Structure 1
Amino acid sequence: MRIVQRLVYVVCAMFFGASAHANSELSFLNLPEGFNIKVWARVPGARSLAATPDGKTIYVSTRGDTVYRIQDKNNDGVADDVRPFLTGLKVANGIALDATGSLYIAEQHRIFKLSTNGEKSIILPAGILPDRRHHGWRYIGISPAGDLFVSVGAPCNICEVSGVEGTLLKIDLSSLDHTIFAAGVRNSVGFDWHPVTKELFFTDNGGDNLGDDIPPDELNRAQRKGLHFGYPFWYDNQKAYPQFRNKGSVKNPVPPVIKFQAHVAALGMDFYTGSQFPDVYKNDAFVAQHGSWNRTEPVGYRVMRVQYDKTGQPLSKSVFIDGWLATDGQVFGRPVDIEELPDGSLLISDDHADVIYRVTYSAPN
C-alpha cells in the first residue's frame, strides 16, 4: 500500500510539475508564496486532531475503532513515534483535549473521558446519542468556557429529526448535564470559537441528491444558545428542501455567514492564532473541504481560508491549498481536520492518503 501511495505522489509530481511551495513528495499541491507543506506522519484513516498544549503529543481519530498517539520526540518537524493508543472503539471520530491533558473520545453511541492517570469516566452514556452509522461520526470540542460541545448529525439524508438529532449539544463538564445549544444542523463535522468574540462557528453539510449545485455547504455562526439553522425544512437563506415544501414550521432560521460550493464536504475548521504566518492571517479560519462523492464534476479536496475583520465578522473565502483533485478527476487526498501547533504551523489530516501534513511559512527572500 505504501509503495503504491508513493508512486501516486511521484506521478502527481510529474503531472503537475515542480512547485516552490511544497516539498518534492507533494509538489502537486498549490500554496501561497512562502508556505511549504510536507508529510508529517502516516496514520491509517486519519481524521480528527487534538494537540496537547506543548504540542509534543498529537492524538488522531479514525472512523474505525482506533485512536492513535503521535509524537515528534527529536523535534525535527516529522513524527517519529506513531502508535495505536486506544482500540476496540465504535466509530472513534470525535476527540478533544482539555487544559489538564485529559482526552475526550466521542464514539457513535457515547462519550467518555480518559484522565492523564488512565482513569476512564463516562461523560455521555449510551442511549442519548442516535446509535446509527449514518452521520454517526461525532465531532467534539471544548469551548473557551470549558464546556464540551458535540455535533449530532441527522441519521439520514433529508428527514424529520427528533430528540438530539440534527443538533450541537453542550455538555457541562462539572454537572454532566447536556442541553441543545443549536438545532437545525444537518451534519457538522467541524467547529471552533472565534479567538476575540468567543462566538461559535461551525461547518454544515447540505443535503444530497438534489442536483450538482444545491444546496450549498455552510459556515454558520451560533452567537447564542437556542438558534435554529433550518434543517430539515430550509437550506441557504430560507430555501425549502423539496421534501418539506410548505411544511416549514421554523420561522426565520439563521442563514449561513459563508456559503461554500454544494457538496464540497466542508469538515474541520481552525481559527489561526499563531505568529508564524503573516499577520494578515491572524484570527482567520482555515476550513478543510473533504470533497464531493456524488457530483457530476468533483469539487472540494482543498483547504479554504475564511477572512474575518477585526470585529469577528467573516468577510470572504478563498482557496488556501489545492491540488489534491487533479484536472482529470483523479483524487490524491481528502483533507479532514486542521490543528494549529504551538509554533504556529498547521497540521492537516487526510483519510484518503492516510497521512497528516504539516504546513509552515518562511518569508520569501
Structure 2
Amino acid sequence: MRMLAVLLALVALPASAAIHLDRLTLPKGFHIAVYADQVPNAREIAIGAKGTVFVGSNDAGKVYALTDRNGDGVADQVRVIASGLTLPVGVAFRNGDLYVSAVSRILVLRDIENHLDDPPAPQLVSDAFPTAMHHGWKFIAFGPDGKLYVPIGAPCNVCDRGKAYAKITRMNADGSDLEDVAYGIRNSVGFDWQPGTGRLWFTSNGRDLMGDDMPSDTLNEVTRIGQDFGFPFCHQGDTLDPEFGKGKRCSDYRAPALKLGPHVASVGMRFYTGHQFPASYGGAILIAEHGSWNRTKKSGYRVMTVRLKGDKVLSYEPLVTGFMQDEKAWGRPADVQMLPDGSVLISDDLAGAVYRVTYDGPGAGRKGD
C-alpha cells in the first residue's frame, strides 16, 4: 500500500514551484537562464530539425512545442501540440516526425514542425508495451541504427517478472521487429550513445526500502546485446538483494561503470558533443538527477558531469547545483538536451520550466576537435 500511495502522489504532482535561479551554482564561466517557464511537469526534451524544442510531460497528458523565433535564447512561444495522453513523458524526433511515449503505446505526430499551430492527431506506432503504471512512463530515443529504443521498467519496487520487464527494447520506426537489448535494468529514464564507439550508455534507478545509503543509482554501458545488469538479484554491481539474491552471484551480471549515489534518481542523460563548453566537456556525459523522495537526508537535485576516457570514468562532478536548500527543493532536473549552438537545456518538472546553460569563459565557442 505504501508503494501505491507513492505512485499516486507522483502522478498527481503539485503545482509548479517558484523559480530561484539565484540559488543555483555552476562552474566559472557558465551561466543559466530561463528558456521557458510555462511548461508544467516538463520531462524529456527533443530538438526538431528546425530548432523546435519539444517537451514531454505528465501534466494532463500534454506535449509541448517551444519556439525561439528571434534567436535570443529564450522561447517566445509555448504551444500544446497534444493532450489527453497517458503520461507522455518521452519524446523523440526523427525525419520530421515526433514520437511520443504513452505508457503502453508509442505514438507519432507526423510532419509536426510544419503544423505547430494545427497539430495532427497522434497516430499509433505500437501498443506492444505493458499497461502497468509503476515505472510505466518511458524515456525514448532513436539510436545510430535508426531504431527507437524503449525501456520497460519493473512494475514494482523489487520483483522478479522474468524477461517481460526490467529491460530496454528497440524497434523499427514503424513499430516492427521489437526486440530486447538488455535485461536486469530496474528502471532506466535516460540513455544515449557514445560518440566514436556508438555504444549505448544508460542511467538506472536503484531499488527503494534498503535504507538511506543502499543501493546506489548507476551509470552503465551495454557492450553486447542481451547483457544482464542484475536486477532484481544484484544491486549496484556488488550487493545481493536480501530476498531475490539468494543463491545468486553479482559476478554473473554486468557491473555498472559508475555508482551515482543512493536514491539520487538519475534520469535524463546525454553525451555532450557541442563546442561551446570547454574542451574538457567534449564527450562527457551530462546527467539530470531528479532527487530522492524517501531518504532521511535528500540526495540528487542537481545536474552532474561524468568525464570518460573510452569506457573508464575519470571524474564525476557537479555542473548545476542548488535546486534544494535546507532539505527543501524548489526544482527537480528531469532531462538535459544540447541545442545546435552547444548550449544545454535542462527540464525541471517541479518548477515547470526549461533552463538554458551557456558558457562564455576561456575556450568558449571552440572549433571542432
TM-score if structure 1 supplies the norm length? 0.89
Q: Counterpart in 2 of 1:317?
A: 316
* Amino acid of the structure 2 residue aligned with 1:69: A
Q: Describe the SS at the equivalent of 1:89.
A: coil
Query: How do residues 252-291 of structure 1 correspond to structure 2 at under 5 angstroms?
Result: 252-291=252-291
Sequence identity of aligned pairs in percent? 41
Q: Describe the SS at the equivalent of 2:23.
A: coil
Once the 2 structures are TM-superposed, how far is the Cα of residue 249 of structure 1 from its aligned partner? 8.3
2:351 equivalent among 342, 353, 359: 353
Q: Distance in 2 between matches of 1:333 and 1:266?
A: 14
* Amino acid of the structure 1 residue aligned with 2:275: S
* Amino acid of the structure 2 residue aligned with 1:132: A
Unmatched tracts of structure 1, length 5 or more:
10-25
Alpha-carbon distance change, 179 to 249 in structure 1, aligned in 2, over 3 angstroms: farther
* Amino acid of the structure 1 residue aligned with 2:355: Y
Q: Counterpart in 1 of 2:76?
A: 80
Q: Counterpart in 2 of 1:41?
A: 36
Q: Distance in 2 between matches of 1:174 and 1:343?
A: 31
Q: Counterpart in 2 of 1:122?
A: 124
Q: Distance in 1 between matches of 2:305 and 2:157?
A: 27
RMSD: 1.9
Once the 2 structures are TM-superposed, how far is the Cα of residue 315 of structure 1 from its aligned partner? 2.3
CA deviation digits over 1:201-223, x for unaligned, max 9?
A: 00000000100000000001011
Unmatched tracts of structure 2, length 5 or more:
1-14, 113-119, 364-369
Higher relative contact order (CA 8 A, sep 6+): 2
Q: Counterpart in 1 of 2:92?
A: 96
Q: Is 1:223 matched up with 2:223? A: yes
**More displaced, 251-260 or 151-160?**
251-260
Q: Is 1:52 matched up with 2:51? A: no
Q: Distance in 2 between matches of 1:101 and 1:119?
A: 15
Counterpart contact for 1:220–1:256, Cα < 8 Å: yes
Counterpart contact for 1:158–1:243, Cα < 8 Å: no
Q: Is 1:68 matched up with 2:64? A: yes
Q: Distance in 1 between matches of 2:362 and 2:202?
A: 33
Q: Distance in 2 between matches of 1:273 and 1:162?
A: 37
TM-score if structure 2 supplies the norm length? 0.88
Q: Counterpart in 2 of 1:14?
A: none
Q: Describe the SS at the equivalent of 1:277.
A: coil
Q: Distance in 2 between matches of 1:184 and 1:5?
A: 35
Q: Describe the SS at the equivalent of 2:328.
A: coil
Query: How do residues 6-21 of structure 1 correspond to structure 2 at under 5 angstroms?
Result: 6=18, 9=20
Q: Distance in 1 between matches of 2:305 and 2:170?
A: 27
Matched residue count: 340
Q: Counterpart in 1 of 2:189?
A: 189
2:22 equivalent among 23, 27, 45: 27
Once the 2 structures are TM-superposed, how far is the Cα of residue 145 of structure 1 from its aligned partner? 1.2
Once the 2 structures are TM-superposed, how far is the Cα of residue 320 of structure 1 from its aligned partner? 1.3
Q: Describe the SS at the equivalent of 1:280.
A: helix
Once the 2 structures are TM-superposed, how far is the Cα of residue 120 of structure 1 from its aligned partner? 4.9
CA deviation digits over 1:238-278, x for unaligned, max 9?
A: 42111213143887100100101100000000100111011
Q: Distance in 1 between matches of 2:81 and 2:148?
A: 22
* Amino acid of the structure 1 residue aligned with 2:346: I
Alpha-carbon distance change, 66 to 4 in structure 1, aligned in 2, over 3 angstroms: closer
* Amino acid of the structure 2 residue aligned with 1:241: D
Q: Is 1:204 matched up with 2:204? A: yes
